[in-house]
Structures are given as C-alpha cells and as structure tokens.
C-alpha cells in the first residue's frame, strides 16, 4: 500500500502542517505503508507532471497551510494540473485526506475547498484534519493533539485498506450532469505527454515564438491596411519638403483623435518623419486628423491653423513660423 503526500505550504520550519504530516507519516510507516512526499514548493517548475505520480498511490493526502486566505498557489496549481492532465479513471478510485492548519482565519473553508475539488475530480474524500494554530510550539507539544492526529492517520489507513464506502454527494452529481470541460478528449497517456510538454520551459518558449511568427504572417496576409495607417501623412511631408540652408528643427504634433504623435526632425536637407515620441521637440503641438488632412492638402497653413486655434502649440515660435516655409503643400 502506498500513500502520496502533496504538501502545498512554503516549507518554513515553524509551519505546523509539516509537523502534522510528519506525525501521520510515522503512524503509516508503523503500519507498513510506503509514504512518498512531494513538496510542491520544490516541484514548482514541474507541477504539471505530478498528476502522473497519482498512478502509484492507493491514497492521497493533500496538506496545505492557510497564511492569509485559501489553499495557496502551489496547491491550486497542482489541483489544476490534476483536472487538466490527471487520469480521471484512476482518480475515481483514490481516497484523499485533507490536512490544513492556519495561522489566520479560514482553515475549515480551505479544508472544504480541498474536499470539493477532489469530489469534482472524481476522487473519494476522507475525513481530514483542520486546525487553527496560534503558537506552533504549544501545538506540537500538546499530547492530546498528537493523539488526535494519530487516530486520524489510523482511520485513513483503515479506510483506504478496506475501500470504505462513502455516501453520494451533490458535487459528484454536478460534475456528472452539469460541469463541462473544454479540454481535449485525450487518453491518459496523451494527457501525461502533454503535461511533460507544458512543464518544459524550452518547449513552451519555442511554441510562443512560433505563435508570434504565425501572428506576424497572418497580419501580413490580411493586407497592408495597418501599415498604411502607420504611414499616413508621412509621404505628404516628405514629398513637399523644401529645405532651408542651415536650418534645424523638431516638431511633435499629437493627433488627439488618433492618439498618435507625428514627429518631424529637420537637419539642414535631411528630414526624418515618423510616429513616435519626442518630449524635447522645439515645437510641441496638438490638433486633429481633420486639421492635418487640410494642412497636407494645401487648404490651410500651419500658421493660420495656430492663429485660429485649430492647432495648439508651445515652444520656439520662430521655429513654428518657419514650418510653412519648409513644407509647402500644393492645393488639391
């Protein structure tokens, strides 16, 4: 007979849950039960592979510590992995004993969470241990508490050994009749193989890279509309650029209804025009798509738009006034 213990705490030496599972292990060893313990905090990079270890067990102990709320992240990940990758047929034969200690409120709620989770997985929950521990030293040196833990361990051994019958629960009925899963219809062997892939960081990284590559490919197949939107007005400025000797300037024009900033950098005869950010531009302006459209089609000048309030601007006003000299748009 083998019992697997899955410990979901963080491994602190003062954690009373560790004391409880050590005491349970002593009792089970005396009864010649092979006890295998998995510390989830040590297995955190391979939790998705742990459901396959359930195949070796006749009984399971899920042990966790409530530090502030709930069963903790490691235990939740393990239960998630059991739902996704566990052999449900074998799970249906497994007895589970919950062990919860708490230094805050909520040990009974956490115990109930473990029980409900195991029932929904299809397993058989058994009477467990839950306790609020204010002082771990007092708890561990209390003879009465020790005897209670030993009795619970013996009871669990008898239940697993004799395949004790349990009454039906509503959670089992809900799982059977109402709960649906979007998981793939995989065999236990395929689920186990998938869990190995998921726990392989290199494999997951490669999959993410492949997905990103495909995303870029499909974006290209959908056309160049996105690129055209990102290049809007840039060609107009480049085609109508009339450089002035020894003139350097920078403009950052925010198009408010597009939530984009058109950056224009002039260095003598060199022009850079792109969408981005430039907080140190000599002229920082704000306007709308409609006003820029009028500007590049020659129906309005930058100076006129500024004077009429269609463009708000701050910075070097000499540079602002020069804008209409270096960009001479033709009327269409």
The tens place of each residue's pLDDT in the chain, 332 residues long, gives: 999 999 999 999 899 999 999 999 999 999 999 999 999 999 988 899 999 999 999 999 999 999 988 999 999 999 999 999 888 889 999 999 999 999 889 999 999 999 999 999 999 999 999 999 999 999 999 999 999 999 999 999 999 999 988 887 776 666 665 555 554 556 666 665 666 655 556 666 666 777 777 766 665 555 455 555 567 889 999 999 999 998 999 999 999 988 999 999 999 999 999 999 999 999 999 999 999 999 999 999 998 898 888 999 999 989 999 999 999 988 75
- Which residues lie closer than 8 Å to 284 by C-beta, 6 or more apart? 251, 252, 254, 313, 314, 315
CA distance 153 to 40: 21
- Which residues lie closer than 8 Å to 290 by C-beta, 6 or more apart? none
Task: Tell me the longest C-alpha to C-alpha distance in the chain.
Answer: 97
In the prediction, which pLDDT does 165 show? Answer: 86
Question: Which residues sit opposite 59 in a β-bridge?
Answer: 3, 95
CA distance 23 to 17: 10
Question: CATH 3.30.1050.10: which residues of the chain?
Answer: 231-326
Closest CA to 276 of 310, 248, 251, 312: 251
Question: CATH 3.40.50.360: which residues of the chain?
Answer: 2-199
Question: Which residues sit opposite 82 in a β-bridge?
Answer: none
In the prediction, which pLDDT does 42 show? Answer: 93
The tokens describing 104, both together, are 């805050």
What CATH homologous superfamily does 2-199 map to?
Answer: Flavodoxin domain (3.40.50.360)
In the prediction, which pLDDT does 249 show? Answer: 94
pTM: 0.59
In the prediction, which pLDDT does 149 show? Answer: 97
Query: What kind of fold does domain 231-326 have according to CATH?
Result: Nonspecific Lipid-transfer Protein; Chain A (3.30.1050)
CA distance 108 to 122: 21
């Amino acid at each position: 007979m083998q019992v697997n213990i899955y410990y979901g705490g963080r491994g602190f030496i003062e954690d009373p849950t560790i004391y409880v599972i050590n005491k349970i292990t002593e009792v089970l060893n005396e009864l010649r039960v092979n006890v295998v313990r998995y510390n989830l905090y040590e297995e955190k990079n391979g939790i998705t592979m742990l459901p396959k270890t359930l195949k070796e067990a006749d009984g399971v102990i899920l042990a966790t510590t409530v530090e502030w709320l709930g069963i903790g992240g490691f235990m939740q990940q393990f239960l998630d992995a059991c739902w996704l990758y566990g052999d449900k047929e074998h799970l249906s034969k497994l007895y589970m004993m919950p062990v919860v200690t708490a230094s805050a409120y909520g040990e009974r709620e956490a115990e109930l969470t473990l029980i409900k989770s195991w029932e929904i997985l299809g397993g058989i929950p058994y009477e467990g241990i839950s306790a609020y521990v204010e002082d771990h030293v007092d708890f561990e040196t209390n003879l009465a508490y020790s005897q209670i833990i030993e009795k619970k361990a013996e009871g669990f051994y008898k239940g697993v050994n004799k395949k004790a019958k349990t009454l039906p629960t509503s959670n089992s009925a809900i799982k059977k009749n109402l709960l649906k899963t979007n998981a793939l219809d995989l065999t236990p062997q395929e689920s186990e193989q998938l869990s190995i892939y998921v726990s392989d960081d290199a494999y997951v990284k490669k999959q993410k890279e492949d997905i990103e590559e495909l995303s870029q490919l499909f974006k290209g197949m959908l056309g160049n509309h996105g690129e055209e939107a990102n290049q809007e007005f840039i060609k107009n400025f480049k085609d109508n650029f009339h450089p002035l000797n020894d003139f350097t300037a920078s403009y950052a024009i925010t198009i408010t209804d597009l939530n984009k900033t058109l950056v224009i950098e002039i260095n003598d005869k060199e022009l850079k025009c792109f969408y981005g950010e430039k907080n140190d531009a000599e002229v920082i302006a704000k306007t709308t798509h409609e006003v820029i459209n009028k500007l590049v089609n020659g129906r309005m000048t930058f100076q006129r738009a500024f004077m009429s309030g269609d463009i708000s601007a701050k910075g070097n006003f000499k540079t602002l006034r020069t804008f209409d000299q270096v960009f001479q748009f033709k009327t269409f």
